[in-house]
Chain A
Amino acid sequence: MATSARLPAAGALAALLWLGVRGSGPVPPLGPILDPVRGAWALARSGDLPDSAEAMVPGLGAEVRVLYDDRGVPHIFAAREIDAWRALGYVTARDRLFQLDLQSRAGGGTLTELLGARALPVDRATRGLGMGRGAERIAMEMDAEKRGALEAYAAGVNAYLRGMSPSELPLEYRLLGRRPAPWNAVRSIQVMLRMQHTLTRNDVELDHWRAAALVGEAAADALFPRHAPIQEPVQPSPGDPRRLALTVPPPGVPDSVAAENVARARSTPPSPGRWPLGEAEPEGLGSNNWAVAPGRTRNGAALLAGDPHLDLTLPSVWYEARIQVPGVVDAYGVTIPGLPAILLGFTRDLAWSFTNSEADLMDRWVERVDDPARPSKYLLDGTWVPLEIRLEAYLGPHGDTLAIDTVRFTHRGPIRRLGARWLSTRWTALEAGGELGALHRAARARSAREWLAAMTAWHSPPQNLLVADREGTIAIRTTGRFPLRAGDGRGDRVHDGSTRAADWTGEWRTSELPGAFAPAQGFLASANQEPQDPRDQPHYLGADWLAPWRALRINDLLRRDSAVTVDVMRRMQTDPASPRAAHFVPYLVRAAAAWPADTALAHAATLLAAWDCRYTVDNQAAVLFEAAMPEVASRLWDELPGDLRPGPAAFLALLDDPGNAWWDDRTTRDRVERRDDILADALRAAYAATLRAHGSPEAGGWRWSRVHRIDIDHLLRLPSLSARNISVAGGPSTISPSSTTGGGEGSSWRMVVELGPSVRGWGTYPGGQSGNPASARYDDRLREWIQGELSALRFPPTPAGLRVTSSLLLHSDP
């Protein structure tokens, strides 16, 4: 009996110990999770910050006091700026340690070390793009000021790591059975590269190539044109928004030279971003900023609003903080975990916010190589030049080697095989810039002019920099490093790489950058639209621009209001009106009118005609409209594969060209369709599909709030740590855009600042300051964000004015 009981017990004990230490399959190591003292349960104890705490951070020149306000925001009071960055590293790690680690690994291509082999395709794409090498090279070329800030920040992170008790280990590490790695300056650069990848990667020349392969060069040119179809640029242009004429030639003969590249999408590894190569950018992305001069505000003080749109995650991409160094800087705003800087925010004198410029900063060259299978040289001006070879080893969580890639580089950048050819890529993000130094100097500026001068050193990612100061000056400038190309100057074509004559020839001068300073119109706005009217700008800046629907709406609202208030600015950030819907709906309604006997179609048209084109949560027509638009696109672009969709310019042009051959449905050989045939057919199909999916509109199933939901996923996409099925107003191309079906893109930070006698700010983001899911600060701002509300940001001149909930004293002595 005893022996018979011992054997299974021994087996059970061994299994339990194995599960406790190593886990099994999807089951993580249970011991470090279930232990009530040091395990995940202990996260309950560390959810709230202690009333007071002390910690040692080596290298501090003097004590740094950190006071957390009642919103969980650390206010860092330091005697030296470099100490403030140490403290910022410490407090960021305290709240967001896992996020720091994950984001830098995503930017450096080392996710496999944390997540295992499942991350291998993403890491390969990251390093294949040169991001691993790029971070190291940028670190080597950094100036002393930037390096000092990054190393100070790293010292702060590492001080937290060293002093962290086992009970404070973030949950994610317990679930993965891993430990955090030490921080260093390169990891901060990797975080920056990750953000640059999100904001600046583009494949416009490759899309053009693919289109040319299918429908010929002339048609491809029109499908991916150089300029936005409607001109409402960042740099104000006189007169009403201007439509650019565009003629779309009918689908032509396939281009045999380009045809071999059609296989690109199948042969290219996935992008490290959220969507694979060749797919359209998520429709929920799109940032805004605008400012109003005192002459057009009710209080006579300049106002500034900003709401960058990014992937929404828990914890948020942003971390709110304030840095005060007497006599040097007093800045409040949001920082990206991993970066020693306030990226968006305000000081005692001014406020600023960014939107992405959407410029083309990534070009490709076709290279001639010595051996197409294993190239070691490339041809340049008649000479075979050795490729730089770099072996990229991908390690697993236990140090095992999962794979080794050979990544090759020309003098332009990484070279990769696409179809039958080898293409090299040059990307400004991989070249050293002065972003951190610019941000640090700009935060010390006393006026909009000084701020813009300091930000001249900002290279990448190029942004529409908006600033307003207490003197009432508002200004904007599209700032960054924009390359000048050889030949026709365009970057939306694949270049011949066999000669240096095809290389970039220089970059734009600062005086050439689009912008406006104290404009007579009294307001400025940017929303990722083409920055400058082509009439004012001879250089190529990009192609296939977004339609400026959001900019049109923002400018329209600002134009009509000469007494703007903080509350007006706040409401604008969630304004549900859609100029895009207002433009397209009449075409659908008119098309349906040609079939009066079709009762279903008539009903659909009636619903759309009655819609005010606002994506409010209770409207019943947006779901139909958003079902109809993809139906139109799939019918209109039936000559193209589903993952190749031209931008809005060609679509807008074709709407006014009802007999164009693009409207013809290729599957109906006995007839030739025109625009209204396709639009009516698309609306008919959308109506039927919506009925099937949501029942009768009269039953309430078409309410936007029931259909349109967004997900804010945890970084590891664990449902119970995520906020899913959230109903919000807004839709594609509204000021607060969000995707039509699920998705997790949206307004990642909303801020309004009034530059009065004292500077006052309001803001929020979807999530909370803490990355600990047990903390009340994990998602405490979510409700406020959903409702479009903002909190007053605490910015008293002295610590005495703060409602302190927790304090932390950092010192360098043991």
Chain B
Amino acid sequence: MSRALHIGAFAVATVAATVVAGWWTIPLLAAAWVRALPRTSAWACAVGAALGWALLLGWDATHGPVGTVARRLGPVFLLPGWGFVGLTLLFAALLAASAAVVARGGSHPVTQTTSPSRQRT
């Protein structure tokens, strides 16, 4: 599976997991994902999780003023509105990446999974 497919698939899984149960499923999903598909990189999980939440934010935006939420909440975290969007995506990405690295274990170091993938593309 190409890296783009890994990312896309993980994004879809992230959307489903978040909708069904909530934000806390992301690390569980990432851990399970890299166990089931050892060639998936932590980086791909991170990008996939961020992409999944970006899709959800996009869906939110079609149903209400997401920009207003960002503009009002960003300053609460000492961030501009777009910074609050970035924080959201970063949170998902870090949850997924850290869980992926932890779950991979000693037999599947990060560098071994990312290199072949790069060679194929």
Chain A interfacial positions (CB closer than 8 Å to B): 1-3, 5-6, 9-10, 12-13, 16-17, 20-21, 27, 30-48, 171, 175, 718-721, 773-774, 776
Contact assessment for B102 and A38 in the assembled complex, using a CB-CB cutoff below 8 Å: no
- Tell me which of A20, A43, A720 contacts B76 (CB under 8 A): A720
Q: In the bound complex, how far is the Cα of B73 from the Cα of A171, in angstroms?
A: 9
- Across chains A and B, which 5 residue pairs bring their CB atoms closest together, nearest first? A44-B64, A9-B101, A720-B75, A36-B56, A13-B98
Contact assessment for B22 and A38 in the assembled complex, using a CB-CB cutoff below 8 Å: yes
For B66, the closest partner residue in chain A by CB is: A44
Q: In the bound complex, how far is the Cα of B73 from the Cα of A31, in angstroms?
A: 14
Q: In the bound complex, how far is the Cα of B72 from the Cα of A574, in angstroms?
A: 30
Q: List 24 A-B contacts (CB under 8 A).
A: A1-B109, A2-B108, A2-B110, A5-B101, A5-B109, A6-B104, A6-B105, A13-B98, A13-B99, A17-B24, A17-B95, A20-B23, A20-B24, A27-B77, A34-B23, A36-B59, A36-B60, A40-B73, A41-B66, A41-B88, A45-B60, A47-B64, A774-B68, A774-B69
A contact face: mostly helix, strand, loop, or mixed = helix
- Tell me which of B27, B75, B88, B97 contacts A34 (CB under 8 A): B88
- Tell me which of B27, B69, B75, B102 contacts A6 (CB under 8 A): B102
Q: In the bound complex, how far is the Cα of B74 from the Cα of A175, in angstroms?
A: 12
Q: In the bound complex, how far is the Cα of B102 from the Cα of A45, in angstroms?
A: 35
Bits for B17-54, please: 1 = Cβ < 8 Å to A, else 0. 01100111001000000000000001000000000010
Contact assessment for B99 and A45 in the assembled complex, using a CB-CB cutoff below 8 Å: no
- By a CB distance below 8 angstroms, the chain B residues around A39 are 23
Contact assessment for B109 and A37 in the assembled complex, using a CB-CB cutoff below 8 Å: no
Contact assessment for A2 and B109 in the assembled complex, using a CB-CB cutoff below 8 Å: yes
A6-B101, A20-B95, A31-B22 known; A41 vs B68 contact (CB < 8 Å): no
B106 beta carbon closer than 8 Å to chain A: yes
Contact assessment for B53 and A36 in the assembled complex, using a CB-CB cutoff below 8 Å: yes
Q: In the bound complex, how far is the Cα of B60 from the Cα of A45, in angstroms?
A: 6
Smallest CB separation, B98 vs chain A (Å) = 4
Q: In the bound complex, how far is the Cα of B112 from the Cα of A682, in angstroms?
A: 80
- By a CB distance below 8 angstroms, the chain B residues around A35 are 18, 22-23
For B92, the closest partner residue in chain A by CB is: A34
Q: In the bound complex, how far is the Cα of B110 from the Cα of A13, in angstroms?
A: 16
Chain B interfacial positions (CB closer than 8 Å to A): 18-19, 22-24, 27, 42, 53, 56-57, 59-61, 63-66, 68-69, 71-77, 87-88, 91-92, 94-95, 97-99, 101-102, 104-111
Contact assessment for B109 and A9 in the assembled complex, using a CB-CB cutoff below 8 Å: no
- By a CB distance below 8 angstroms, the chain B residues around A720 are 71-76
Q: In the bound complex, how far is the Cα of B101 from the Cα of A16, in angstroms?
A: 14
- Tell me which of A31, A32, A44 contacts B69 (CB under 8 A): A44
Contact assessment for B65 and A776 in the assembled complex, using a CB-CB cutoff below 8 Å: yes
For B64, the closest partner residue in chain A by CB is: A44
Smallest CB separation, B67 vs chain A (Å) = 8
- Tell me which of A12, A36, A46, A774 contacts B98 (CB under 8 A): A12
Contact assessment for A13 and B27 in the assembled complex, using a CB-CB cutoff below 8 Å: yes
- By a CB distance below 8 angstroms, the chain A residues around B106 are 2-3, 6
- By a CB distance below 8 angstroms, the chain A residues around B109 are 1-2, 5
- By a CB distance below 8 angstroms, the chain A residues around B99 are 9, 13
Max chain A Cβ within 10 angstroms of own Cβ: one of B24, B71, B92: B24
- By a CB distance below 8 angstroms, the chain B residues around A3 are 106
Q: In the bound complex, how far is the Cα of B91 from the Cα of A10, in angstroms?
A: 15
A39-B23, A41-B57, A719-B75 known; A16 vs B91 contact (CB < 8 Å): yes
Smallest CB separation, B66 vs chain A (Å) = 5
- By a CB distance below 8 angstroms, the chain A residues around B57 are 36, 41
Smallest CB separation, A766 vs chain B (Å) = 17
Q: In the bound complex, how far is the Cα of B68 from the Cα of A720, in angstroms?
A: 11
Contact assessment for A13 and B65 in the assembled complex, using a CB-CB cutoff below 8 Å: no
- By a CB distance below 8 angstroms, the chain A residues around B94 are 12, 16
Q: In the bound complex, how far is the Cα of B18 from the Cα of A47, in angstroms?
A: 21
- By a CB distance below 8 angstroms, the chain A residues around B56 are 36-37, 41
- By a CB distance below 8 angstroms, the chain B residues around A718 are 75-76
Contact assessment for B64 and A774 in the assembled complex, using a CB-CB cutoff below 8 Å: yes
Q: In the bound complex, how far is the Cα of B68 from the Cα of A30, in angstroms?
A: 19
Contact assessment for A43 and B69 in the assembled complex, using a CB-CB cutoff below 8 Å: yes
- By a CB distance below 8 angstroms, the chain B residues around A12 are 94, 98
Contact assessment for A44 and B60 in the assembled complex, using a CB-CB cutoff below 8 Å: yes
Contact assessment for A31 and B98 in the assembled complex, using a CB-CB cutoff below 8 Å: no
Q: In the bound complex, how far is the Cα of B108 from the Cα of A37, in angstroms?
A: 33
Contact assessment for B64 and A37 in the assembled complex, using a CB-CB cutoff below 8 Å: no
- By a CB distance below 8 angstroms, the chain A residues around B71 are 720
Contact assessment for B64 and A46 in the assembled complex, using a CB-CB cutoff below 8 Å: yes
Smallest CB separation, B93 vs chain A (Å) = 10
Q: In the bound complex, how far is the Cα of B105 from the Cα of A443, in angstroms?
A: 72
Max chain A Cβ within 10 angstroms of own Cβ: one of B69, B75, B99: B69
Smallest CB separation, B58 vs chain A (Å) = 9
Q: In the bound complex, how far is the Cα of B91 from the Cα of A17, in angstroms?
A: 10
For B30, the closest partner residue in chain A by CB is: A13
Contact assessment for B95 and A16 in the assembled complex, using a CB-CB cutoff below 8 Å: yes
- By a CB distance below 8 angstroms, the chain B residues around A48 are 64
Smallest CB separation, A51 vs chain B (Å) = 13
- By a CB distance below 8 angstroms, the chain A residues around B68 are 44, 47, 773-774
For B42, the closest partner residue in chain A by CB is: A9
Smallest CB separation, B45 vs chain A (Å) = 11
Q: In the bound complex, how far is the Cα of B61 from the Cα of A41, in angstroms?
A: 9
Q: In the bound complex, how far is the Cα of B69 from the Cα of A773, in angstroms?
A: 7
- By a CB distance below 8 angstroms, the chain A residues around B88 are 34, 36, 41
- By a CB distance below 8 angstroms, the chain A residues around B92 are 34
Q: In the bound complex, how far is the Cα of B64 from the Cα of A40, in angstroms?
A: 12
- By a CB distance below 8 angstroms, the chain A residues around B19 are 37
Smallest CB separation, A478 vs chain B (Å) = 43
Contact assessment for B27 and A17 in the assembled complex, using a CB-CB cutoff below 8 Å: yes
Smallest CB separation, B112 vs chain A (Å) = 9
Q: In the bound complex, how far is the Cα of B107 from the Cα of A1, in angstroms?
A: 10
For B70, the closest partner residue in chain A by CB is: A41
Q: In the bound complex, how far is the Cα of B74 from the Cα of A449, in angstroms?
A: 54
Contact assessment for A2 and B76 in the assembled complex, using a CB-CB cutoff below 8 Å: no
Max chain B Cβ within 10 angstroms of own Cβ: one of A2, A12, A27, A776: A2
For B94, the closest partner residue in chain A by CB is: A16
Smallest CB separation, A171 vs chain B (Å) = 7
Smallest CB separation, B18 vs chain A (Å) = 5
Contact assessment for B24 and A44 in the assembled complex, using a CB-CB cutoff below 8 Å: no
Known pairs A6-B102, A35-B18, A774-B65. 14 more at Cβ < 8 A?
A2-B107, A9-B42, A16-B98, A20-B23, A41-B56, A41-B60, A41-B66, A41-B88, A42-B60, A44-B63, A171-B73, A720-B73, A721-B76, A773-B72
- By a CB distance below 8 angstroms, the chain B residues around A773 are 68-69, 72
- By a CB distance below 8 angstroms, the chain A residues around B18 are 35-37
- By a CB distance below 8 angstroms, the chain A residues around B105 are 2, 6
Contact assessment for B102 and A47 in the assembled complex, using a CB-CB cutoff below 8 Å: no
- By a CB distance below 8 angstroms, the chain A residues around B75 are 718-720
